[in-house]
Amino acid sequence: MSTPRPAPDVAESVALAINGQPALAGFASPGERAQPLNLPPWFIDRCRQAYLSLPVITGGEYANRLIGVSSASHHEGKTSIAAGIATAIAVDTGERTLLMECDFSSRRGIGEIFRLRAGTGLAEWMSGDADLRLVRASPFDNAFLLPAGGVGMDAARLMYRLGDHDVIGQLRSSFRNIVIDLPPMNDIAYSSLAGRLADHVLLVVQYGRTTVEDLEKAMFLLGRDRVGGVILNRFEPSIPRALRRLL
Amino acid sequence: MGARYLDILFRHWARFVALLVGLPLAAASASILVFPSYQASARIWVDTPSYFGSVSSAQGWNQYLTPSQNEADSLTQMVATDAFVSTVGQQLVAEGTISEADRSSVEQQMRSNFLVTSAGSHLVDVQVTCTKRSVCLAILRDTITTHEDWLKRTEQTQAKVAIDFYNGQVKQAADKVTAAEDALNTYLAQHPGERSGAGDPGSVANPRLADLIQQVQDAQTAQKDLADKLAGIQLSSAAVDQIDQTTIRVIDAPHLVGGNLLPSGSRKSAAIVAALGIVPGIVYLVALAWLDRTIRGPKEIQAALGLNVVATIPDLGRARV
């Protein structure tokens, strides 16, 4: 296993990638762009509602947002919502926004949503096996994607290094807004480590699928103080609207 | 919690339509077809027995109850006896309404499904529920007839006992009159000078003669009283034969309640079966609500964990990942 790159390299390579300068040794081409997002506007608007409910760290060098999105289990819609939140923030603020995928267990991550070509990502870069890959999210110039890549059995060690080397902290100096697609809390052994990467975590709950017990466990693993709120996804109540108003 | 039940109800609406509507309807229909139940009814007018203006109370009647209450009580008690029910059963067999093999079951139906109620001061409502319409009507008809016959026999038997008793009393009284007259005539023959004083003992000076005259008159009075009583009882006995015309009249002949197509008895049974048919649906609903621990709304999250729901997002459909 290769040693991860030292922290100062992160900021330098990110700056180069964003500014569109020729790639240095060990960094991906700055010209890579994702396909246009295929999430509907109303979905982005609901995601906007979610991120706006969180307190913003204001003032000082780190006057920015660091939002994690997680769920109790796989396939509850957290990656779509993380993408929606990142898009909404990028559009609303016009600031540099990064969607960072830290769910190494997902087979259908941001790569599918943004229709990225197969390639390396955070895992390979952290392991020293590949260059940092930052992908610009079309049609925005201020939104960037950092796919997870493939990590295999070393996910827990990788997650530990991610926190230990303060990679997120260095990224914060380059991105005012960072949205982290965290792994599902109950299904992944290292989920507690992942949860510590974000200031606030939004928990995605799928209507009619997530149980109260699942949510309790996820909240326990994350820590109650870290949970900024719950997003009820795929909310399709069966009760007619007129009757629902009476209840 | 109510919202959760409603949510489950609407989410699985097709199942619950089948369980809460289809099943009860099917069960009710099956009940009507497989276990038909007919209800027959008749109405009887009951009068206090009255013969030639003299009012008397029927045997066994409570004078503080109305005629219909007395009759309803009497008929209810009769139907509770095996002898009465058996008599009606034999009559049904004799008429060919039922076979001998069916008799016990019909008698059982009669014991358990026969209802007599007072519908007013003089009106008695008689109802019976059974599985065949012709049997229902025949049971009512024969019950009323048998009850009338029983009343007649009872009255006649009692009248006969009374007539026999008073006949003996009248005969004894006649003998006493004869004896008293003989004694008076003998005394007058032995005392030619004495006069009977036109039958008035007060106008006779001889106390012995006055006493004999008084005895004759007392015997004659007693004989007349007994003869009057005997005549009254004989009149009552004769009137017993007309009891159906004077005391009990069938106003509404036995008829099926609710018509032939969907009789009242079947409707009641079907309603009960349909009500019971809803139970599985309700049990299923409760079981689903009990077993389903999934989150169904923002309020559940708030209530269970105290977390705020910051956004609700509808199903993304095909675009979801």
| Closest C-alpha among A169, A174, A184, A176 to residue A233 | A184
Quickly state the pLDDT bin for B57 (edges 50, 70, 90). Answer: low
What distance in Å separates the CA atoms of residue B187 and residue B204, rounded to the nearest whole number? Answer: 14
In the structure encoding, which two tokens stand for residue B225, read together? 């009283």
In the structure encoding, which two tokens stand for residue B231, read together? 């005549």
Q: How far is CA B190 from CA B179, B193, B194, B216, in A?
A: 17, 9, 9, 18
Quickly state the pLDDT bin for A63 (edges 50, 70, 90). Answer: low
Q: Do B308 and A229 touch (CB under 8 A)?
A: yes
User: Which H or E run contains A203?
Assistant: strand A200-206
Lowest mean pLDDT of B45-49, B75-79, B182-186, B282-286, name the range. B45-49
Q: Do B309 and A231 touch (CB under 8 A)?
A: yes
The owner of tokens 């009769």 is: B78
What distance in Å separates the CA atoms of residue A2 and residue B226, rounded to the nearest whole number? Answer: 139
Mean pLDDT of B275-289: 90
Nearest to B321 among A112, A213, A238 (CB): A112
Q: Do B295 and A212 touch (CB under 8 A)?
A: yes
pLDDT, tens digit (0-9, with 9 covering 90-100), for B90-146: 999 999 999 999 999 999 988 899 999 999 999 999 999 888 888 999 999 999 989
**Whether B43 contacts B123, CB under 8 Å:** yes
Chain A touched by B318 (CB under 8 Å):
no
**Whether B113 contacts B130, CB under 8 Å:** yes
Instruction: Note the pLDDT of residue B261.
Output: 61
The Cα of A106 is separated from the nearest Cα of chain B by a number of Å equal to 11
pLDDT, tens digit (0-9, with 9 covering 90-100), for A112-121: 888 887 778 8
What distance in Å separates the CA atoms of residue B226 and residue B173, rounded to the nearest whole number? Answer: 8
A55-80 burial, b for 16+ CB within 10 Å, e for fewer? eeeeeeeeebbbbbbbbbbbebbbbb
The Cα of B13 is separated from the nearest Cα of chain A by a number of Å equal to 9
pLDDT at B51 over 60: no
User: Which H or E run contains A214?
Assistant: helix A212-222
Residues 6+ away with beta carbon under 8 Å from B39: B127, B128, B129, B136, B256, B257, B258, B263, B264, B265, B268
Please give the mean pLDDT across all residues of chain A: 82
Q: 3-state secondary structure string, A62-119?
A: CCCEEEEEEECCCCCCHHHHHHHHHHHHHHHHCCCEEEEECCCCCCCCHHHHCCCCCC
Lowest mean pLDDT of A60-69, A84-93, A183-192, A195-204, name the range. A60-69
Please name the residue of chain A whose CA is at the shortest distance from the CA of residue B302: A230
Question: Looking at residue B184, what DSSP letter applies?
Answer: H
Q: Do A108 and B321 touch (CB under 8 A)?
A: yes
pLDDT, tens digit (0-9, with 9 covering 90-100), for B252-276: 999 988 766 666 667 788 889 889 9
Q: Do A209 and B294 touch (CB under 8 A)?
A: yes
User: Residue A30, Cβ neighbours under 10 Å: how many?
Assistant: 18
Residues 6+ away with beta carbon under 8 Å from A144: A17, A18, A96, A97, A98, A99, A134, A135, A136, A137, A175
Q: Do B310 and A229 touch (CB under 8 A)?
A: yes
Please name the residue of chain A whose CA is at the shortest distance from the CA of residue B309: A230
pLDDT, tens digit (0-9, with 9 covering 90-100), for A143-190: 899 998 877 667 888 888 888 778 888 888 888 899 999 999 998 888
Contacts of A79 in chain B (CB under 8 A): 321
Instruction: Note the pLDDT of residue B53.
Output: 42
Instruction: Note the pLDDT of residue B88.
Output: 94
> What's the pTM value of the predicted model, to 2 decimals?
0.60
Q: Do B321 and A216 touch (CB under 8 A)?
A: no
Chain A touched by B17 (CB under 8 Å):
no
User: Residue A140, Cβ neighbours under 10 Å: how many?
Assistant: 18
User: Residue B21, Cβ neighbours under 10 Å: how many?
Assistant: 14
Q: Do B313 and A211 touch (CB under 8 A)?
A: no
The Cα of A212 is separated from the nearest Cα of chain B by a number of Å equal to 6
